[in-house]
Structure 1
Amino acid sequence: TLKALNAFQFDEQIGRARVVHEPLGVVAMITPWNWPLNQVTAKVAPALAAGDTMILKPSEESPGCAVILAEILDAAGVPAGVFNLVNGDGAGVGSALSAHPDVDMVSFTGSTRAGIAIAQNAAATVKRVHQELGGKAANLVIEGA
């Protein structure tokens, strides 16, 4: 939420260490067909908040919500190049994004089969990969973590 973002300390002193949270860079986002607007915004909103640029590849089966969101972001004044939308299939576009040397992170929600291919494609450039595969990547964050 906006309240959490406003309270987040991007630069903080912890003991004698200074901790600075910086943007990752270019984040490729590959989203599934089910609940498309939620899946897209769950990736886009944090990347915008963190100052990252992004390339979204929505599912080829349900790209409409992503196209409308792209129009909304443009109308809202998001600078050109911050949010980028590419359409296509996973084997072609998803593979190219996950292997591209200028992509710093891949965020993927979908099948285990596709997740394995994405991880293998990303390995050559040692980029960060975050995946939710088959709804089985839940996280538990305890107080004080």
Structure 2
Amino acid sequence: MDRNQEVRIYNFIEDDEFDQLLFKKAIENIHIKKDIKIEYVAHMTTEALLQYGSFENSRSVFIFDISIAGSTSYNFLVENLMVLKEFPVFILTSSDNPADKKRYLELGVVTEFFLKPFFVHDLEQIILRIWELAEADE
């Protein structure tokens, strides 16, 4: 399939159901007029992401929380660094620790590091920014 014909898959790797609901609500409010597919992945494994065809779709975008089900996205990113370098990768987390941000950005695969907001409107702005950065990455 031609890259331009592929549907962009947004993989939101987040185990908190409330945060998944906020993300879904923000996406609905934005009304992006392009073909996108949102996958909510609660477990951070290569197998979980392969299940959705995320690595096969060259237009995939990955949005990770730092802490997922007793693990960290940092370990996952390190283990899958070569594959993930081909995609826009974002961190959306409640951690405002500057050391976390520095550590993730130093991997060289994370496009941007965002703090989870308290309000849906603010999350909408972050998602629009992720959309802009992912489109510019093409």
TM-score, with structure 1 as normaliser: 0.36
- Which structure's relative contact order is higher, taking Cα pairs within 8 Å and 6+ residues apart? 2
TM-score, with structure 2 as normaliser: 0.37
Structure whose CA Rg is larger: 1
Which structure: greater helix fraction? 2
